[in-house]
Amino acid sequence: PGRGRRAGSRRVYGTLEDLLGGDIFSDFFRTFFGDFERAAGRRPGRRAEQELEVTLADAYTGAVKPYDIIGPDGRAHRVEVRIPPGVRDGDVVRVTVPGLGDLSFRAKVRPDPQFERKGDDLYVEVPVKLTTCILGGEVEVPTSTGKLILKIPPGTQNGQVFRLRGQGMPRPENPSQRGDLYARVRVVLPTRLTDRQRALFEELARLETAETYAGAR
């Protein structure tokens, strides 16, 4: 059952049981049992690195990820890889393991279904009801750690972007500083109208002039 948790040809993390029952001839093990130098030699100046998948939430808070390896003694060792807050895709984390030397892990930050990351900034789409956009109001904006209330001013256009300063990813150099969160308004329109509601929209349509949409693109 643990076999579903593989990324490409490399096991990323799992229980030791999964690991021993699984693919013990993965790239990583072959590397350890003598091919290390050859592997590193394929790209001059580069060391063999293992990919370690982390979620955006892990990258936000930082995390400790277990990683199991078989040492030259033939025994399994659990390595704890410390992912620093704000880790960026491709960052390399090193771990010194007594008896095994230095291991390098390259963080692969998985794309998030909700947040898009650009540098240390995050982008999120926020559904907002039509009448809230037109008349103003408040909406909840998801953040990496919870929710925030965002004030929507009257006359907010579909697609408008609000910057929530300091609500982005921690900066790895200084995790007390953070990037920004950009919230993009996606207007949600009514799906079902009563006769009265339809009549109101019909009157709005009759009252429209060039001025009504002035400046909108």
Interacting residue ranges for its own copies, rule: CB under 8 A: 127, 129-131, 133-135, 155-159, 186-194, 196-198, 200-205, 207-208, 211-217
Shortest Å, Cβ 125 to its own copies: 10
Shortest Å, Cβ 121 to its own copies: 23
Nearest CB to its own copies, comparing residues 31 and 132 = 132
Residue 138 to residue 121: CA distance in whole angstroms: 23
Evaluate whether 73 touches 126 at the Cβ level (below 8 Å).
Answer: no
Residue 71 to residue 68: CA distance in whole angstroms: 10
Shortest Å, Cβ 133 to its own copies: 6
Shortest Å, Cβ 57 to its own copies: 22
Evaluate whether 11 touches 26 at the Cβ level (below 8 Å).
Answer: yes
Nearest CB to its own copies, comparing residues 7 and 130 = 130
Nearest CB to its own copies, comparing residues 43 and 206 = 206
Residue 133 to residue 112: CA distance in whole angstroms: 27
Shortest Å, Cβ 153 to its own copies: 12
Q: Taking phi first (over 0 means left), then psi (-120 to 50 degrees means alpha), and beta for anything else, what does residue 74 get?
A: left
Nearest CB to its own copies, comparing residues 16 and 130 = 130
Residue 34 to residue 187: CA distance in whole angstroms: 58
Nearest CB to its own copies, comparing residues 103 and 133 = 133
Shortest Å, Cβ 67 to its own copies: 36
Evaluate whether 95 touches 102 at the Cβ level (below 8 Å).
Answer: yes
Evaluate whether 168 touches 82 at the Cβ level (below 8 Å).
Answer: no
What are φ and ψ of residue 145, in 5° steps?
-120, 0
Nearest CB to its own copies, comparing residues 26 and 156 = 156
Residue 82 to residue 105: CA distance in whole angstroms: 10
The DSSP code sequence of 5-39 is -EETTEE-S--HHHHHHS-TTSHHHHIIIIIHHHH
